Amino acid sequence: MGKCPASTSDPAVRFEHLPLISGPLGHLNAQRPRIMADVIRRTLQDFESGPLDLVLGESLYQERQRLKREQINLFTRGRHKADQRLWSEIQTGLLQSSVSVDRKGLLKQVTRHYADEIAGRFNPEIYKVATHAVPFAFSWFLNAASVRRFLPWGLSESLATRLSIVGEVSHLQKLAQKGTILLVPTHQSNLDSVLIGYVIYLMSLPPFAYGAGLNLFSNPVLSFFMGNLGAYTVDRKKSNAIYKQTLKNYSTTILREGIHSIFFPGGGRSRSGAIERRLKLGLLGTALDAQIEKLRNGSDKPNVYVVPMVMSYHFVLEAASLIEDFLAESGKHRFIITDDESWQSAKVLNFFWKLFSSQSGIVVRIGMPMDVFGNPVDENGASMGPNGTTIDPRKWLTTRGELRADAARDHEYTRELGERIAERFHRDNTVMTSHVVAFAFFELLRSRYPELDLYRFLRLSAEQRTLQLEGFLAYAQQVHAKLLQMEAQGELYLSQELHAADLRAWVDDGIKQLGVIHDAAVVKVAEDSVWTEDMNLLYYYRNRLTGYGGLKKTMGNCGRKGFLE
Amino acid sequence: MEEKAFWSKAKVAVIGAGNFGTVLASLVSKNCLQVRLLSRSEEQARAINSTRLNPSYMTKLSLAQNITAFSEPERVFEGGVQAVIWALPSQVCRQEAKVLAPYFGGDEILIHTVKGVEEGSLKRISVLLREEIPCPRIGVISGPNLAEEIGRGEPAATVVASDFEEVVAAGQALLTGDYFRVYPGHDVIGVEWAGALKNILAIAAGAVESLQLGWNARALLITRGLAEMVRFGMAMGAKEETFLGLSGVGDLLATCSSPLSRNYRTGLRLAKGESLDSILQALGSVAEGVKTTRSVREFAHAHGIDMPVTEGVYHLLEGKLSLQEIIQLLMTRPTARP
C-alpha cells in the first residue's frame, strides 16, 4: 500500500466543483415498496419457527422500558406517540387468545412499523441541492474566518488544506464500479454523519445509503436532508430482537440490491476517545449475508467490498459529555446523557468557526479495501490470499459441497472481519500534533502519581497538574521518536506537521489545536511550565493513542494502575 | 446422517507420511472414499503403493487399498480434496505451508496434528497456517495419541477443536473408528498450547525416570508441571478446563509415562550425561520439546509467568547444571509466593 505521509499538503482529493454521480440509490424511491415488503417477509421468516408469544412479549417489555425513559421534545413527540400506540395494540392483542388474534399478524405489524422507521427516502433532486449547498456553506465560513484568502482560488485551496481525503481513494473509486461498497468509518462525533455525505461527494462516488443514529433525525432540518440523502435510521436504544432483525434485513436487502452503504461498525460514538476495537458484529454480518444471496442469485456483481475509513480531528465538539459518559459507565454508575448537546446551533457554528480560523485540519483516510472475510482486495476486485494466491469467495462460502449460508460459520467469518477492520482502523489512523501532546502530557503526569487509581488521578488539584516545560518537551520528543518508528513499520500515520524536524514547532501546534473548541484549555504553556485545566478532556484526547501495543511498551514505566485499556 | 454421507464420498489429503500421518491416513481411509498421502520421497510413495506398508514409519501397519501415496503435491490436490490433514513437524510447517498454499481451493477443511509452536515467534500452528494458506477453516487434533498404540488398534481418544463448528464435525466424521473416539472442542488456543507445553514436561519426566526416583517424584513433576502449563496457557488466552481434558492432562500422562515418546527419550539420555547434539542425531527424528522449551522460557521470563519446571528443563538442555543440581534448586523453592 502506498504510504502518504504528506497527508495535509497533498490530499488525494482536492476541492473543486465535481459532477454529481448517479448510482443505484437513485432508484431507491421506486424500489422502496418492494424493499420494504422483502424486509418484512424475511423478518417474519426469521421468527417463524420460534415461540412468537415470547418474542413479542419480551419486545413489548423492552419497548415499554425504553419509552418510559425516553426524553421527549417537540420533534420526537410524534414518533414517541406512534410507538406507544403500536405497543398498546400489541399488548391488547397478546392478552387475547392466539385463536382470536393471530401472533403472526402482530409480528407483521411490529416489523412494518420498524421497517418504515428504518427505511430512508432518497431524493436525487434534494441530493443535488444539498451537495452544492455544502461547499457554499463551507466557503462562507471560510470567507468570514480568513479575509486574507479572499480570492476565489485561494478559498478552494485552503479548504483542501482543512479537509484532506487520503489513502486508497482511487482504489475505492474503481471498486465502486465492480461491486457493492460497504464503507465503515470510525465514529467520534455527530458531525461525522454530516461530513461523510460530503466526503462521498468529493470522492466522485455515487450517493451512499447510510445508517445514522435516530437522534440525528430529531432535528427537522437535518432530518429532512439526511433522510433524503439516503440515510436510514439506526436506533441503538432499541435492543429488542424484532428491531435488530428488521434492521439487519434492511441492510442486507439494500446491499443485495447493489446500493453502496455506510454504517458505523462500532455502534455509537467512541465514548473514551479511543479508536474502536470491538465492533458490533450483527450489522456487520449483513455484508456477508448479502454476498451469499448475490452469489446464489447469479448476480453479475456479487462482491461486497468492505472499506474502512478513519477520520481524525484536532477537536471533538461533544468531547466533554462523551468522556463523562465513559467514566460514569466504567465506574459502574450508569446514567444516560442527553444526546442532543452537540446539535445546539451555536456550538456547531463555533465548531466550524474554529475549524477554519485556527487553520485546523480534518484528515479522512480511506483504508485498504477488503472482502467480506477481511482479505485485502486488489484493484480488479479480486480477493488476495497469502503467498500470491487469489481467493474465490464462493469456495469460502461452500460448506459440504454447497454454496449456502451457515449461521455458525458466517458468525466466525464476521468475527474475523471485525478484527481486521479494527486492525485497519489503528493502522490507517492519522495521528495529529494535538493527539501526541495530549498523550505525552497525560503519560508523563501519570508517571508522577503511580499510586493513584485513574479516578483519583483525574481529580488532581491545579498545582498537581503542572509539569516543567523542559521535562515535558524531552518526554514529548521520546514519544515522537517512537511514533516515527511505528509509522515506518506501518502501524499508523503521522500528520504532515508531525514530520517537522523542529520539536517546538509541532508541540506548539499541538497545544494550540488541542481541544481549541472547549472553554477550558486542555494543555496550556507559560514560561517554563505546562499544565492542564481539564483532566477529563486531556484524558479523552490522550485516548486517541490507546490500543497501540508498541507505544505502551516503551512508555511502560508510566503507571499501569487503573488504566482502562 | 448428512455429515457421514458427505464424507463417505470425499477425498482427503494427508500431508506427511511420518508415524502419525500414516496412522491417521489409515483411520480416515475407513470413513472416506479416497486418501492421498503426501510423502517426502518418491521411493517411499512407490513402496507404500506397491507393498501397502510404509517402509520407514509404522512399518507393521497394513494400509487399505483406497490410500494412495504421492510425492508431488500436484497429484495430491488434483481435482480438489475436501479435507486436508496436516501432520508435519513444527519446524517445517512455515516453509511447507508456503509451498502448498497455491494448491488449496479454499473450501477444504484443514486439520493439523502438530504438537508444537513456531520457534521464536511462539505462533500456534493454526495461526501460522492461516497466515500462509488461503483456507480459513482450520482445526487441530490432539490427545493422548501414541501412534504405535493406535496403529495396533488399542482403544484411544482425541479432541478436535476449531472455531468453526463444521471443522469439528468433519474431524469427528473422518477420524472416529471402532477403537478411536473423537471428542469435540472449541478452545483452539488451549488445545494447541497444551500439546506444545507437555513436550517440555515429557523431557523432564524422562530425566526423572533415569534416576529411578519413584512414583512420588513423578506425580510431583506431573502435577506441578500441569499447574505451570495452565498458568502459561491462560496467559495466552486458553481456558483452564481444557487442561483437564484429553488434550491436557490426558496427553501429559501418556507422554510422561511412555518410553515411546521422543521427548521422553531425550530427557532420559540427557540425564545420563549424553550431549544434546548426539541425542538428537541418534533419535533421527525431531523432539519438539527442545525448541519449545527455549521459546517458552524466554516468553515466560518476559511476562513474569512462574515456570520452575520449564526453567529446570532449560538448564538441563543447556547442559550447564546437572540434574541433581536442578532437582535441588526445585526442591528448595519457597512453596508459596507471598
The count of C-alpha atoms lying within 13 angstroms of the C-alpha of B319, restricted to the half-sphere facing its C-beta, is: 11
pLDDT at residue A243, rounded to an integer:
93
> In this predicted model, what pLDDT tens digit does every residue of B132-168 receive, in sequence order?
999 999 999 999 998 989 999 999 999 999 999 999 9
Predicted confidence band at B228 (pLDDT cuts at 50, 70, 90)?
very high
Instruction: Test B107 with A409 for CB contact under 8 angstroms.
Output: no
**CB contact, 8 Å: A92 with chain B?**
no
Q: Is the pLDDT score of B118 beyond 90? A: yes
* pTM (2 d.p.): 0.88
> Higher confidence at residue B232 or residue A190?
B232
A409 vs B: CB within 8 A: yes
Cell matching residue B295: 521459546
| Model pLDDT for residues A196-223, shown as the tens digit of each residue | 877 887 788 887 888 777 766 666 556 6
* Side chain identity at residue B64, one-letter code: A
- For residue B213, what pLDDT band results from cuts at 50, 70 and 90? confident
Name the residue in chain B with its Cα closest to that of A388.
B102
Percent of chain B with pLDDT over 70: 98
Crossing angle of helices B215-235/B308-318, nearest 10°? 110
Mean pLDDT of chain A: 81
Domain boundaries, chain B: 2-186, 189-331
Mean pLDDT of A444-459: 89
Confidence of residue A5 (pLDDT cuts 50, 70, 90): very low
Q: Which three cell numbers stand for residue B11?
A: 477425498
- Among residues of chain A, what percentage have pLDDT more than 70? 76
> A462-470 — which CB contacts under 8 Å span 24+ positions?
A462/A531, A465/A531, A465/A532, A465/A535, A466/A529, A466/A530, A466/A531, A467/A441, A467/A529, A467/A530, A467/A531, A468/A528, A468/A529, A468/A530, A469/A525, A469/A527, A469/A528, A469/A529, A469/A530, A470/A528
Distance between start and end Cα atoms, chain A? 29
Q: Lowest mean pLDDT of A44-58, A70-84, A262-276, name the range.
A: A70-84
Active site residue B198: yes
**Which of B11, B115, B198, B291 is flagged as catalytic?**
B198
The pLDDT assigned to A468 comes to 93
Highest mean pLDDT of the ranges A127-141, A265-279, A538-552: A265-279
Options 1.10.1040.10, 3.30.830.10, 2.130.10.10, 2.60.120.10; CATH for B189-331 is 1.10.1040.10
Question: What's the pLDDT tens digit per position in A270-329?
Answer: 888 999 988 989 899 999 999 999 999 999 999 999 999 999 988 887 888 888 888 877
Dump pLDDT digits (tens) for A374-417. Answer: 999 999 999 999 999 999 999 999 999 999 999 999 999 999 99
- Is the CATH number 1.10.10 carried by domain A122-377+387-427? no
- In total, chain B counts a number of residues equal to 338
Reported as a single tens digit per residue, the pLDDT across A146-205 is 433 333 444 444 455 677 889 999 999 999 999 999 999 999 887 787 778 778 877 888
pLDDT surpasses 50 at A125: yes
Residue A23: the pLDDT is: 65
Tell me the residue type at A208.
Answer: F
What does the pLDDT read at residue A355? 60
pLDDT of residue B272: 86
ipTM of the complex: 0.91
Task: Report the pLDDT value the prediction gives residue A161, as an integer from 0 to 100.
Answer: 60
A408 vs B2, B131, B165: nearest CB: B165
- Say yes or no to pLDDT of B106 above 70: yes
For residue A95, pLDDT over 50 is answered with: yes
Report the pLDDT value the prediction gives residue A151, as an integer from 0 to 100.
37
> Strand pairing of A231-234 and A304-313?
unpaired
| CB contact (8 A) between residue B105 and residue A387 | no
The nearest alpha carbon in chain A to B129 belongs to: A386
pLDDT tens readout for residues A474-532:
999 999 999 999 999 999 999 988 998 899 999 999 998 887 778 778 898 888 999 99
Give the pLDDT confidence score for residue A196 in this predicted structure: 80
With b for 16 or more beta-carbon neighbours within 10 A and e for fewer, the B291-319 pattern comes to bbbbbbbebbeeeebebebbbbbbbbbee
Amino acid at B324: Q
A389 touches chain B (CB under 8 A): yes
Tell me: pLDDT of A9 over 60.
Answer: no
User: Which pLDDT score, from 0 to 100, does residue A515 have?
Assistant: 77
pLDDT band at B289 (very low <50, low <70, confident <90, very high): confident
Question: Is-contact A421 A308, C-beta < 8 A?
Answer: yes
User: Residue ranges of the domains in chain A?
Assistant: 29-118, 122-377+387-427, 431-554
> In this complex, which of B6, B131, B137 lies closest to A386 when CB atoms are compared?
B131
Span A30-34, average pLDDT: 79
- Quick one: angle between helices A152-162 and A124-145, nearest 10? 100
Instruction: Give the chain A residue nearest B136 (alpha carbons).
Output: A396
Average pLDDT of chain B? 92
Chain A residue numbers with beta carbons less than 8 Å from the beta carbon of B6 are: 400-401
Cβ–Cβ gap A391/B101 under 8 Å: no
pLDDT at residue A137 in the model: 52
Task: Give the architecture-level CATH label for domain B2-186.
Answer: 3-Layer(aba) Sandwich (3.40)
Q: And the C-alpha cell for B217?
A: 517424584
